[in-house]
Amino acid sequence: MTVKPDYARPLDIKQGRVDMSHGSGGRAMAQLITELFAGAFDNEYLSQGNDGALLPQATGRLVMATDSHVVSPLFFAGGDIGSLSVHGTINDVAMMGARPLYLSASFILEEGFLLSDLKRIVESMAQASRVAGVPIVTGDTKVVERGKGDGVFITTTGIGVLRDDLRLSGDQAMPGDKILLSGTLGDHGMAILSQREGLSFSAPIVSDSTALHGLVAAMLDSGAKLRVLRDPTRGGLATALNEIAKQSGVGMMLHESAIAVNPPVEAACEFLGLDPLYVANEGKLVAICAPEDAQRLLAVMRAHPLAVAASIIGEVLEDAQGFVQLTTRMGGRRVVDWLAGEQLPRIC
Amino acid sequence: MKYVDEFRDGELAKNIVSNIAREVDPKSVYRLMEFCGGHTHAISRYGLVDLLPANVRMIHGPGCPVCVLPVGRIDQAIRLAREQGVILCTYADTLRVPASNNLSLMRARAQGSDVRMVYSTQDVLKIAREHPDREVVFLAIGFETTTPPTAVAVKQAAFEDLKNFSILCDHVLTPAAMHAILKVSGGVALDGFVGPAHVSTIIGSKPYEPFAEDYGKPVVIAGFEPLDVMQAILMLIRQINAGRAVVENEFIRAVTREGNLKAQELVAEVFELRDTFEWRGLGSVPDSALKLRSKFAPFDAELKFNVEYVAVPDNKACECATILRGQKRPQECKIFGTVCTPENPVGSCMVSSEGACAAHYGYGRFREVA
């Protein structure tokens, strides 16, 4: 009998499913990594094939951020868990003012997960990473028994470098500063929620998931005195601004009429009793900058394709209580508070 | 957003604001109760108090479905979930209402009970169909707006012979609560009501006529959008200035005098009055709540399971009761914003965004500092 050296039947991507052997460290795992991950993510660091990636010397201070992704549904209008896991971590690095260089990706797969879905997710990640110019240089895969995961969880970690003269931080906002928002609110959260609840609108709601480091680079190049950058993800704009107000020991006054929400998102929020200020975004940023630079920064943002709908939405105030307030379109005033618990729909 | 943005128009609001400012009698005080939590929420969320003269005072009423449920009712649901192993389904905020022993339905869920949040009664029927081996109980709460969907579900369950579905019926009635407010001992000083929006689409404007005729209190039914509320306030001021007390309808795009007759028939077919029902804040109010008719007894969780209602006093420091009666404002409660916050509510008024305390904490508390 002749045995072909190194023969293994290729992965059955069409019909196959993840089983416990794919996480066992044996041949099946090696095959999964080679055929599914390595091919898609291909880059010189990953192909070193070692336990870690050896990276060249970087210049500048290092920034590191990590983010776990557990979204359901895994595929949604405007993206999937794969592209989201790339964008989310790149954005966290970018909000520090850093240039993202490398990503790691760690997968927790549930036994029984379709290999075809996994392939779709991995290819989407690879595509997002290529478009962003930030390679996935190392990774890990684990398999948990059926019922102990929700299909797939992905954790990504990013490393970037920061210019020596930059210091963006949540504690830098000063009374008088202007608050800028890069676009419409709530697109990601309502894309997910409307799909989960089976709501359909005349115009579908598409997630805004995207990598923002290009926009951030343009904003930094403008020379405007930036103090804080945040991406208002989970918890939305309200949460992001309350965090900054607390860190900086300031208050804020927002203007409702300057905050844009896409009509289908507004309708979906209305329908479910949600407030767009608290709904997640994955492709927006909020910037706080010195008042004299606000118009220049706004112009630079609006000239970038990812922030054409940018606007100045408010000012930083001196306020010992740290209230984030809003002047409503009606002309009244109210607090924009921290989210209490989950954002649940109202009853009647 | 068509049909909504028009009612949130800042320019139109200015007209109403200037009319109100011009027409109020500076020597009078106008004490207006918005009955519904939906109005409380709109007033707070749009900062409408800032647009009113100081002598027009809004008093928050008890029309918040989760606020008026006494602790004992939530306890009952928790006992069902914990001791009888049922799948307990209910609407959103109800999960967070504080109950006895530092529990809530949400905490019971964290401890292993099967408690599920639903958007509609149809979701509950679906769960019951999918789990024929489990008992599925719907904690049915709310005023007249949420009662017809419960009636539909009960009828559907009867039609399908769904034997594992039942309801814990805590549906309550708005006019009965308004009567109770006006009869509160010690009295609630008020000069008129902003009448319910969604409730009135079902019951119509007719049931409010006794408040105008017998008690001399003007009622203006208003929609839940900020312009609706402002317009209703203006209409109330005009009635008060003219010494009139009638029921007027600002919400003509949705409310008629007779209401939704089909929904009323449906509710009457499935439910009948309870002799009495305990409300948080208002105590036992006769003819103020509904129970299933005997024809639908197999779907009555109170008959099906051994879960007697046990009255439980509120936390002593909590002022929810006086706040629900309109006798105190949230900020007058000693534990408001300190011990009792939306993250750790002590009283039910701090739970729902329609609750007076949660609305004031979440939207209006900057006023306490100024």
Is a pLDDT exceeding 90 seen at residue B326?
no
Residues of A whose CB is below 8 A from B364: 334-335
Which residue has better confidence, A172 or B185?
A172
* Per-residue pLDDT at B2: 73
Is a pLDDT exceeding 70 seen at residue B169?
yes
Compare CB distances from A332 to B49, B342, B365 and report the shortest one's residue. Answer: B49
Which residue has better confidence, B320 or A273?
B320
Mean pLDDT over A323-344 rounds to 86
B47/A333 CB distance under 8 A: yes
Distance CA A286, CA A128 (A): 22
* Per-residue pLDDT at A348: 39
Is a pLDDT exceeding 80 seen at residue A326?
yes
Residues of B whose CB is below 8 A from A325: 366
Residues of A whose CB is below 8 A from B66: 347
A348/B142 CB distance under 8 A: yes
Q: Place B194 in a pLDDT band, splitting at 50, 70 and 90.
A: very high
Q: ipTM, 2 decimals? A: 0.82
A270/B14 CB distance under 8 A: no
Per residue in B58-76, pLDDT (tens digit) is 999 999 999 999 999 999 9
Residues A197, A200, A204, A205, CA torsion sign = negative
Per this entry, what is the length of chain A? 348
Is a pLDDT exceeding 80 seen at residue A198?
no
3-state secondary structure of A144: strand
Mean pLDDT over A248-267 rounds to 95
Per residue in B61-114, pLDDT (tens digit) is 999 999 999 999 999 999 999 999 999 999 988 999 999 999 999 999 999 999
Lowest mean pLDDT among A189-198, A286-295, A312-321, B142-151: A189-198
Give the nearest chain A residue to B149 (CA atoms).
A348
The amino acid sitting at B171 is: H
B8/A330 CB distance under 8 A: yes
The percent of residues in chain A predicted with pLDDT above 70, rounded, is 95
Lowest mean pLDDT among A66-75, A334-343, B89-98: A334-343
* Per-residue pLDDT at A4: 61
Per residue in A218-238, pLDDT (tens digit) is 999 999 999 999 999 999 999
Distance CA B12, CA A57 (A): 62
C-beta of residue B162 within 8 angstroms of C-beta of residue B135: no
Q: Place A347 in a pLDDT band, splitting at 50, 70 and 90.
A: very low
Compare CB distances from B342 to A328, A340, A348 and report the shortest one's residue. Answer: A340
B363/A334 CB distance under 8 A: yes
Is a pLDDT exceeding 90 seen at residue A8?
no
Is a pLDDT exceeding 60 seen at residue B215?
yes
Rounded to an integer, what is the distance from CA A115 to the centroid of its chain?
A: 25
Distance CA B124, CA B138 (A): 7
Q: Place A265 in a pLDDT band, splitting at 50, 70 and 90.
A: very high
Distance CA B356, CA A237 (A): 25
**Counting beta carbons within 10 angstroms of the beta carbon of residue A293, is it exposed (0 to 12), middle (13 to 18) or buried (19 or more)?**
middle
Per residue in A99-122, pLDDT (tens digit) is 999 999 999 999 999 999 999 999
Instruction: Please name the residues between 245 and 304 in chain A that touch chain B, using a CB distance below 8 Å.
Output: 257, 263, 266-267, 270
3-state secondary structure of A316: strand
Q: What is the 3-state secondary structure (H, E, C) of A38-99?
A: HHHHCCCCHHHCCCCCCCCCCCCEEEEEEEEECCCCCEECCEEHHHHHHHHHHHHHHCCCCE
C-alpha distances (whole Å) from A73 to each of A118, A125, B137, B364 are: 14, 16, 28, 36
C-beta of residue B47 within 8 angstroms of C-beta of residue A328: yes
Distance CA A120, CA B322 (A): 58
Distance CA A336, CA A286 (A): 16
* Cα of A275 to nearest chain B Cα, Å: 10
Residues of B whose CB is below 8 A from A203: none
**Counting beta carbons within 10 angstroms of the beta carbon of residue B292, is it exposed (0 to 12), middle (13 to 18) or buried (19 or more)?**
buried
A331/B13 CB distance under 8 A: yes
* Per-residue pLDDT at B329: 92
A337 in contact with B at a CB cutoff of 8 Å?
A: yes
Give the count of Cβ contacts less than 8 A between chain A and B.
106
A329 in contact with B at a CB cutoff of 8 Å?
A: yes
Mean pLDDT over A315-343 rounds to 90
Q: How many CB atoms lie under 10 A from the CB of residue B76? A: 22
* Per-residue pLDDT at A23: 86
Mean pLDDT over A76-80 rounds to 95
Residues of B whose CB is below 8 A from A337: 342, 361-363
* Per-residue pLDDT at A274: 87
Q: Which CATH superfamily is domain B1-317 in?
A: HypD, alpha/beta domain 2 (3.40.50.11740)
Is a pLDDT exceeding 50 seen at residue A73?
yes
Mean pLDDT over B9-30 rounds to 95
C-alpha distances (whole Å) from A239 to each of A270, A276, A326, A338 are: 20, 12, 14, 6
Residues of B whose CB is below 8 A from A260: none
Is a pLDDT exceeding 70 seen at residue B304?
yes
Mean pLDDT over B345-357 rounds to 90
Token digits for B34?
A: 């918005």
Token digits for B134?
A: 């489990």
Closest CA to B305 of B89, B137, B121: B137
A198 in contact with B at a CB cutoff of 8 Å?
A: no
Domain with CATH 3.30.1330.10 in chain A: 20-162
Closest CA to B245 of B266, B216, B224, B270: B216
C-beta of residue A329 within 8 angstroms of C-beta of residue B8: yes
Contacts of B92 (CB under 8 A, 6+ apart): A344, A345, A346, A347, B117
* Per-residue pLDDT at A140: 93
C-beta of residue A209 within 8 angstroms of C-beta of residue A283: yes
* Per-residue pLDDT at A301: 98
Residues of A whose CB is below 8 A from B230: 330
What is the domain class of A178-335 according to CATH?
alpha beta
What is the domain class of A20-162 according to CATH?
alpha beta
Interface-testing mutation among A261, A334, A343, with chain B (most B C-beta atoms within 10 A): A334
Per residue in A141-173, pLDDT (tens digit) is 999 999 999 999 999 999 999 999 999 999 999
3-state secondary structure of B189: coil
Per 3-state DSSP, chain B is made up of helix, strand and coil in percentages (nearest 5) of 45, 20, 35
Domain with CATH 3.40.50.11740 in chain B: 1-317
C-beta of residue B66 within 8 angstroms of C-beta of residue B117: no
pLDDT, chain B, mean = 94
pTM for the whole structure:
0.88
Residues of B whose CB is below 8 A from A327: 47
